[in-house]
Amino acid sequence: MKIALFGNPNTGKSSVFNLLTGLRQHIGNFAGITVEKKSGSFQIDNQQHQLIDFPGVYSIYPRSKDEEVVYKVVSNPKHPDFPDLAMIVVDSSNLERNLLLFTQIYDLKIPIVLVLNMWDLAQKRGVNIDIEQLQSYFPSISIVTTNARIGLGKDRLIQAIKNHQLIAASNLIVEDFKLCELENKKKQEEETRFRYQFLKKVIAEIEIVEKTKTDTLSRKIDKILIHPIFGYLIFSAVLFVIFQFIFSFASIPMDFIDAQTTNFSNFVSNQLPIGLLNDLICQGIIPGIGGVIIFVPQIALLFLFISILEESGYLSRVVFIMDKIMRPFGLNGKSVVPLISSVACAIPGVMATRTIADWKERLITILVAPLMSCSARIPVYTLLIALVIPKQTVLGIFNLQGIVLFGLYFLGLISALLIAIILNLLIKKKEKGFLLLELPSYKMPRWPNVGINVLEKVKIFVIDAGKIILSISIILWALATFGPSGKMENAEKYVRANPSFTQLPEEEQNQKVASARLESSYIGIFGKAIEPAIRPLGYDWKIGISLITSFAAREVFVGSLATIYAVQEDGDENLRLIDRLKAEKNNKNESIFTLASGVSLMIFYVFAMQCMATLAVVRRETNSWKWPLIQVAFMGFMAYFGALFAFNILS
Amino acid sequence: MKSNSLAKQAFGVKVQIKNILDSSFSNKLIELGFITGQTIEVVFSAPFGDPIAIELNGSVLSLRLEEAATIEVENTNSL
């Protein structure tokens, strides 16, 4: 049986979903629409049931693109996801608003199990519901009380599904109910008003409110968390803790994954016969997969924190206190978390924009998020800073290198906000953005929900973005491995023919060969081809090659330079590489890596969209290649002219 | 009887909704329970006075001032 799960936001719908399906969940898309579909399965008496989780909505008439899916599915009985049974989860302490959605689905004659969730909370707040009375209004439905957050009510849910006769309602609230068209808002308003009138009558009969319903504890916590000073201080402290975790702890598993990928690739390489297949697997596919998995720790940690904040109710307060500040930039209070997350990594940042209901505000957030300096830029920044910025103290206490690093981060932030303003002016839309946000009561996070949410985000990334990352990795590998016929072999022969070659240690021989081959590969040829374009920025073709390869991911820049200059990478410090780069001269015997070209490169990396993983995620989240390509274009434009400007000022 | 916009109400004063002005989001306001006759109360605001938090039927909803401005209310004490 196909069972659909509906409910308002903050009703504990996902708790009910997790309660029934546990870990048997998977993510897909709704047919014909690209909204994410979370479904799961469970068995009752050897009978398999499928449960589909729909986005939390207040009404079947959508507020945002995400919410349209509810309307599209329930309005079309032929839709493959049209349910045999609807399970509607409501917050028992706020029946009136929650039952609006219920009455709509009821009138569509879909059989219903009504789940009165948060039963304990309602009782605690003095709200008593006469279930028999409620049942008499809606005889065809089954009613279940649960307390899904603490795992209570699973048996009752299962009983209700098992015993359900699948009868459609006969006494409709709106007689001969027909759904309004999506565009006809006036008619929707009328319908909603009518339903509320009906509900007011019903609620007056079934609900006895003993005490005041106000949640005084939440109100007290809000006094502090929304305070003009403490509110922002606490938010800053929360961010600080999150970053500490992401920066210091994510690097441990990331280094481990990095090392294991290399080990595994070497291991496989030794097992397989030497040849093209070996190269494809060990230099294309395995590092490509490694390049996907390496992001998992950051994504997992970030979503761990976001889920905790969301579950506890704090996240909506962050939106509340940041909304006014973000609005002049065409952004939304909900843009704050994605943008800040992007300082760790733009991928989870872009993925976190889903909560923004307004499409334009969400799009702007997605487009500017990669301008925030992410952690993959750190290896590039540190290498370049060590290379061209002298180690000296400014104004007695400040470390010049540190100031430059801070400046690069700052430049990223400022440019993100400026571009947001520009995009806000450029992107047209018919309707004004709105916030309409619920500030739920504070609760302890429910850990299974947090865990499942983290798992889900990681899965989406690995599967969806992973495909694109892997394909681009393989393409880049092919471009670096193949060249016009015979050229690479000739280059290798030429290097080997050098009389001093055989006296070199084997390692250096291999490096020299690799360097020569890369130079005459397609990527090498591209690097040389773009040299006229990048010479004004102070770069030569060797840097050009690294720019192209680091399109895969920014940190690849360092490894590519090492390959081209035929030096062994030596850990975080990269001392050998730095020495080698410092000695690099052009044909006029001038240093290639000067202050001007070094800063120019840093600026380039602040702006350029050098990350195929982000590109893949933006494509997924905007569901077209249009926006990621626009993003690549404007970021590339900024990178090029920013670098050009910096180089000319400094040289 | 004076009617006034929800955006201009003092904190902690219970008011009754008189009318929802037409806007691109008025249907959404209504769906959240902002309907004529409903008693609501502005409970607090964000640090810069915008958005504001409104208690409606025991739950707290946040509205931007420009959204609140489309809701006309009346002080229940003056009834």
pLDDT tens-digit series, residues A12-40: 898 899 999 987 877 777 766 656 788 99
User: What is the distance between the alpha carbons of residues B47 and A491, in angstroms, rounded to a whole number?
Assistant: 67
Contact A436 B47 (CB under 8 A): no
pLDDT of residue A342: 87
Helix (H) or strand (E) holding A2: strand A2-7
What's the 3-state SS for A479-491? HHHCCCCCHHHHH
User: Is the model more confident about A547 or about A294?
Assistant: A547
B74 close contact with A: CB closer than 8 A: no
Q: What b/e sequence results for A41-55 when a residue is b if at least 16 CB atoms lie within 10 Å of its CB, and e otherwise?
A: ebeeeeeebbbbbbb
B19 close contact with A: CB closer than 8 A: no
A124 close contact with B: CB closer than 8 A: no
Q: At A109, is the secondary structure helix, strand, or coil?
A: coil
Whether the Cβ atoms of residue A301 and residue A457 lie closer than 8 Å to each other: no
User: What is the distance between the alpha carbons of residues A185 and B24, in angstroms, rounded to a whole number?
Assistant: 8
- Give the residue-averaged pLDDT of A413-439: 86
Residues 77-116 of A with CB under 8 A from B: 91, 93-94, 96-97, 100
Count residue pairs from A and B with Cβ separation < 8 A: 117
Per-residue pLDDT for A164 more than 70? yes
Whether the Cβ atoms of residue A39 and residue A81 lie closer than 8 Å to each other: no
The DSSP bridge partners found for residue A394 are: A398
- For the residues of A314-338, what is the DSSP string, one character each? HHHHHHHHHHHHHGGGT--GGGHHH
CB count in 10 Å sphere of residue A378? 17
- Give the residue-averaged pLDDT of A394-403: 83
Strands A2-7 and A85-91: parallel
What does the DSSP 8-state code read for residue A230?
Answer: H
Crossing angle of helices A230-244 and A336-344, rounded to 10°: 30
- Give the residue-averaged pLDDT of A217-228: 91
pLDDT of residue B1: 44
Question: What radius of gyration, in Å, describes the C-alpha atoms of chain B?
Answer: 11
Per-residue pLDDT for A101 more than 80? yes
pLDDT of residue B3: 58
Contact A439 B67 (CB under 8 A): no
A324 close contact with B: CB closer than 8 A: yes
pLDDT in tens, A189-198: 999 999 999 9
pLDDT in tens, B2-58: 558 999 999 989 999 999 998 888 888 999 999 999 999 999 999 999 899 999 988
% chain A with pLDDT above 90: 39
Per-residue pLDDT for A162 more than 80? yes
Whether the Cβ atoms of residue B43 and residue B12 lie closer than 8 Å to each other: yes
Q: How far is CA A276 from the centre of its chain?
A: 35
Per-residue pLDDT for A426 more than 60? yes
What does the DSSP 8-state code read for residue A129?
Answer: E
- B14, B17, B30: which to substitute to probe chain A, counting the most A Cβ within 10 Å? B30
pLDDT of residue A332: 87
Which pairs from A195-200 meet CB under 8 Å and 24+ separation?
Answer: A195/A100, A195/A103, A195/A104, A196/A96, A196/A100, A196/B30, A196/B33, A196/B35, A198/A103, A198/A173, A199/A96, A199/A99, A199/A100, A199/A103, A200/A96
Of A215, A223, A434, the CB nearest to B25: A434
For A50-54, A213-217, A403-407, A555-559, which range has the lowest pLDDT when averaged over its residues? A213-217
Whether the Cβ atoms of residue A642 and residue A606 lie closer than 8 Å to each other: yes
User: Is the model more confident about A508 or about A97?
Assistant: A97
- B45, B64, B71: which to substitute to probe chain A, counting the most A Cβ within 10 Å? B64
- pLDDT grade for A430, boundaries at 50, 70 and 90: low
Per-residue pLDDT for B79 more than 80? no
Calculate how close chain B gets to A315, using CA atoms only, in Å: 13
pLDDT in tens, A340-350: 888 878 888 89
Strands B59-63 and A437-439: antiparallel
Q: Which two tokens stand for residue A60?
A: 């079947």
* Residues present in chain A in total: 651
- With CA atoms as reference, report the closest residue to A308 among A148, A121, A451: A451
Calculate how close chain A gets to B78, using CA atoms only, in Å: 23
Q: Which two tokens stand for residue B20?
A: 């929802």
Phi, psi of A82 (to 5 degrees): -60, 125
pLDDT in tens, A592-616: 889 999 999 999 999 999 988 899 8
Per-residue pLDDT for A167 more than 70? yes
CB count in 10 Å sphere of residue A106? 25
What's the 3-state SS for A259-274? HHHHHHHHHHHHHCCC
- pLDDT grade for A573, boundaries at 50, 70 and 90: low
B21 close contact with A: CB closer than 8 A: no
- For the residues of A44-81, what is the DSSP string, one character each? ETTEEEEEEEPPP-SSSS-SSGGGHHHHHHHT-TTSTT
User: What is the distance between the alpha carbons of residues A578 and A60, in angstroms, rounded to a whole number?
Assistant: 61
- Give the residue-averaged pLDDT of A147-158: 88
Q: Looking at beta carbons, which residues of chain B come within 8 Å of A231?
A: 47
Helix (H) or strand (E) holding A99: helix A95-107
Contact A63 B44 (CB under 8 A): no
User: What is the distance between the alpha carbons of residues A405 and A403, in angstroms, rounded to a whole number?
Assistant: 5
A219 close contact with B: CB closer than 8 A: yes
- Give the residue-averaged pLDDT of A173-183: 85
* Residues present in chain B in total: 79
- A320, A358, A359: which to substitute to probe chain B, counting the most B Cβ within 10 Å? A320
Per-residue pLDDT for A431 more than 70? no
pLDDT in tens, A466-489: 777 788 778 888 888 888 887 888
B32 close contact with A: CB closer than 8 A: yes
- For the residues of A172-228, what is the DSSP string, one character each? -SSTT--PPPTT-HHHHHHHHHHHHHHHHHHHHHHEEE-S----HHHHHHHHHHT-T
Any residues with CB less than 8 A from the CB of A106 and at least 6 apart, and which?
A: A112, A138, A141, A169, A172, A173
Q: How far is CA A502 from CA A203, A507, A517, in A?
A: 91, 11, 18
Q: At B45, is the secondary structure helix, strand, or coil?
A: strand
pLDDT in tens, A372-390: 988 778 778 888 998 899 8
Mean pLDDT of chain A: 87
For A268-282, A554-568, A630-644, B3-17, which range has the lowest pLDDT when averaged over its residues? A554-568
Of A93, A226, A319, the CB nearest to B58: A93
Contact B28 A436 (CB under 8 A): yes
- pLDDT grade for A97, boundaries at 50, 70 and 90: very high
Q: Looking at beta carbons, which residues of chain A come within 8 Å of B51?
A: 320, 323-324, 333, 435, 437
Angle at A269 between CA A264 and CA A270, to 5 degrees: 100
B55 close contact with A: CB closer than 8 A: yes
User: What is the distance between the alpha carbons of residues A563 and A515, in angstroms, rounded to a whole number?
Assistant: 6
Most confidently modeled of A425-434, A474-483, A520-529? A520-529
Phi, psi of A189 (to 5 degrees): -60, -45
- Give the residue-averaged pLDDT of A539-557: 86
A316 close contact with B: CB closer than 8 A: yes
Q: How far is CA A15 from CA A89, A215, A367, in A?
A: 10, 22, 33
Angle at A548 between CA A467 and CA A610, to 5 degrees: 60
- pLDDT grade for A490, boundaries at 50, 70 and 90: confident
Give CA torsion, residues A402, A408, A412, A414, to 10 deg. 80
pLDDT of residue A570: 53
Q: Which residue of A has its CA nearest to B22?
A: A186
Contact B35 A219 (CB under 8 A): no
Any residues with CB less than 8 A from the CB of B74 and at least 6 apart, and which?
A: B1, B2, B3, B4, B15, B16, B18
pLDDT of residue A572: 54
Contact A323 B59 (CB under 8 A): no
Strands A47-53 and A2-7: parallel
Per-residue pLDDT for A491 more than 80? yes
Question: What radius of gyration, in Å, describes the C-alpha atoms of chain A?
Answer: 29
pLDDT of residue A32: 61
Q: Which two tokens stand for residue A589?
A: 């015997």
A360 close contact with B: CB closer than 8 A: no
Contact A439 B62 (CB under 8 A): yes
What does the DSSP 8-state code read for residue B8?
Answer: G
Per-residue pLDDT for A151 more than 50? yes
B77 close contact with A: CB closer than 8 A: no
